[in-house]
Amino acid sequence: MQKIDKEKLAQLVSHYALKSPLKAKIINYIGNAQADFNYFSTMTYKENIKRDEDLLKHGRYFANHFNTAMGHKGFYKRVMHDVTAQAPLISIVEGDGFITRFHYHFILHKPDNVSHDEFATRVKWCWYKATDKMGSMLISDFKPIYDSAGLINYLTKEVTTNDIDALNLSATHIY
């Protein structure tokens, strides 16, 4: 991640330690990850998704396409021996499918040798392929990360004391 302010991270963790220890642990885990997460994006759908299964499937498909686009083709075979054989990715689902449309927030790693425009094109292509070309679109939130602690706090807002369903673990690669 963008060099995270360890003091801000410690304040966040201590703030949630008593009232939501699970959220505190997730914030701490993401904040101390070795992977260099440097981009944030929000992916949404033109048409609302009603089934949770479809939503989770799209997250897994996006992760697979993103790994391929970043040069980690066949990562699932190598990852059992080396976790760094996959592209760093955190995926968070928000919305309820009724009042608020489901959408994904992704925290991604952009390699140094890839330009911003090329990276944006690759990510859009991955989302398009992952959603079965159903008219999905990338909204304007695709930008570098500047405030890591604030972003982590924002993205874990739906994590409660005993529920981490907002974090799509099948499409998350943190190391």
Domain boundaries, the chain: 6-171
Q: What proportion of the chain, given as a percentage, has pLDDT over 70?
A: 80
Name the residue type at position 126.
C
pLDDT tens string 68-91:
888 877 655 555 556 666 788 888
CB-based burial of residue 173 (10 Å sphere; 0-12 exposed, 13-18 middle, 19+ buried)?
buried
Dist. CA 121–CA 103, nearest whole Å: 19
Query: What's the predicted TM-score (pTM) here?
Result: 0.81
Which stretch, 50-54, 57-61, 154-158, has highest mean pLDDT?
57-61
pLDDT tens string 35-58:
788 898 988 877 777 777 888 888
Sheet (strand 39-44) strand order: 89-94, 103-108, 39-44, 137-144
Range of weakest confidence among 56-60, 88-92, 100-104: 100-104
Range of weakest confidence among 37-41, 87-91, 118-122, 167-171: 167-171
For residues 31 and 1, the answer to whether their CB atoms sit within 8 Å is: yes
